[in-house]
Chains A and B, each alone.
Chain A
Amino acid sequence: MLTDESRGRTTPTLITLVVLGLLLMTFHVRLDGGGVVGVMRSGAQAIISPIQEAAAFGVNPVVDLVDSLSNVASLREENLALRAQLAEREADLVGLQDQMARLETFEQLYDLGDAGTELPRTVANVIGSPDFLDGALIIDKGATDGIAPGQPVIDSQGYVVGSVHEVTSGTATVVPIVVGSSGVQVIVGDQKGVLMPQVGSELMRLEVFGARDPVLVNDRVLTSAGSVSFPVGLAVGRVVEDAAPVSDSLTTTVQPFADPDTLRLVIVLAWPPDPISASDQGIVEPVEEGTTTTTTGSTTTEGDG
């Protein structure tokens, strides 16, 4: 138990520190994570991230070992399923090779070349998470590898994971779309909508305004050309509930393809590929929290992250 004397000093200290914490929160909200708070954040991350990277060398094998031990019962079944999947994919590959050969022939016939649309990619390992409640991921690539805030992140299958939030020289923090603070502009079939995270759920809510047709279970949800944070055509998830338009709008739930909890490796896309030419064309550039501004006007767009 605290003595009266120490309690006399402890309570004012508590109040002072709580007020200081509330002030920091206020600064964070008012400055949108920038300013003094941003400088403090960058400084702390620059100090800690080299130690995290060094620790990851020792920790990653331990994590893999524990994961393997905890999944040992299901490994045999998973192996069988993977063998079957491999056989299917090999059959698909033979078909694709045939199509590629035909495509090359047509390209030669019509003198077509590569349009150069392939985006530069940076493969990064997931080395941790800020804490047990924070859904963000820490990756082992940073500014020195060309990573910048706002860049889209996909998994090894090409499914959307999220976007880069903070960057240090050697690491970056990725916020997955399922826990992000804003939505993603998507298309389902030929209908445009917004995919929003839901608090406490791994499913996301799809809202389609101006809906004409119903959406059905297993319909694929892709990033749309209207998205300012992701390139068009990336797979995001699949619809898990049938839904029909009601008064021109439609709401349903979507299961994202990527599961951030199980990711060990991600790919960061350098997108937009050329910010200078993008800004010359009036293409919007992604900034934090899904708020975007155009360079040719004063338009402000929200609802993509």
Chain B
Amino acid sequence: MRLPKGLIVATMILVAVIVQTTLFGQLDLITPDLVMLVAILLALTRIRPELTLAVGFAAGLVVDLLSSSLTGLRAVVFTVVAYVALRTRERASIGRPAMAIWAGLTSFVGVALLVLIGTLFGQSNLLGPDVEARVIVVPLANTLIAGLIGPVFVRLIDGDRTAFRFS
């Protein structure tokens, strides 16, 4: 029996939020943004583009509501990131490294936007001591994770075992 796609996506976002706020919230060694990565990778699935944007918005809003910063900030950024991912998604179909680099570059756009809008809105808690390093480190971590789990993620959401099987 196949689970409804909406349930799988909601579970993925919940898992991403929990792992992000607990495990990666304490580790300095590797600092990805899993929730942003989920919003990006959803662009590779067969989910309707409008729904992908809505899911990106909802995922960002959940992180906003759990954080101490401005509500709506990540919702806007994750929506824009999902849009960028949708517009450039054919570049990820070349191969696994291309998919990883594509996810990393899109993550860079997202992190840069977060810092930019955070600065404009005076969100000092978003601009801590390591902000410059994180603008680089987070996309690199997302690149690595996208390379590892990206194809499996798409197959799981779409229920298609042949999707993104690079030869």
From B48, B49, B66, B70, contact of A44 by CB (8 A): B66
B90 CB–A CB distance under 8 Å: yes
From A2, A22, A126, A130, contact of B76 by CB (8 A): A22
Whether B128 contacts A135 by the Cβ 8 Å rule is yes
Whether A128 contacts B22 by the Cβ 8 Å rule is yes
A169 CB–B CB distance under 8 Å: no
Shortest distance between the CB of A255 and any CB in chain B (Å): 11
Shortest distance between the CB of A254 and any CB in chain B (Å): 14
Contact digits for B31-56, partner A, Cβ 8 Å, 1 yes 0 no:
11101000000000000111001100
Task: Give complex CA distance A118, B127 in Å.
Answer: 35
Task: Give complex CA distance A173, B69 in Å.
Answer: 11
Task: Give complex CA distance A22, B24 in Å.
Answer: 28
B87 CB–A CB distance under 8 Å: yes
Question: A residues within 8 A CB of B57?
Answer: 17, 20-21
A74 CB–B CB distance under 8 Å: no
From B22, B67, B131, contact of A200 by CB (8 A): B131
Task: Give complex CA distance A191, B133 in Å.
Answer: 36
A52-60, A153-161, A278-286 - interface stretch: A52-60
Nearest A residue to B31, CB-CB: A132
Task: Give complex CA distance A63, B28 in Å.
Answer: 10
A8-48 residues with Cβ-Cβ distance < 8 A to B are: 9-10, 13-14, 17-18, 20-25, 27-29, 33, 37, 40-41, 43-45, 48
CB within 8 Å for A128 and B125 given contacts A21-B72, A25-B73, A200-B132:
no
Q: List 22 A-B contacts (CB under 8 A).
A: A18-B76, A20-B57, A21-B60, A21-B76, A24-B64, A24-B75, A25-B121, A37-B71, A52-B18, A52-B21, A55-B19, A59-B22, A129-B21, A130-B63, A132-B24, A132-B33, A136-B67, A136-B68, A136-B69, A175-B125, A181-B122, A200-B132
Residues of chain B at the chain A interface (Cβ within 8 Å):
14, 17-29, 31-33, 35, 48-50, 53-54, 57, 60-76, 79-80, 83, 86-87, 89-90, 111, 114-115, 118-119, 121-122, 124-129, 131-132, 134, 138
Residues of chain A at the chain B interface (Cβ within 8 Å):
1-2, 6-7, 9-10, 13-14, 17-18, 20-25, 27-29, 33, 37, 40-41, 43-45, 48, 51-52, 55-56, 59-60, 62-63, 66-67, 70, 126-136, 138, 165-166, 173, 175, 178-181, 197, 199-202, 261, 264
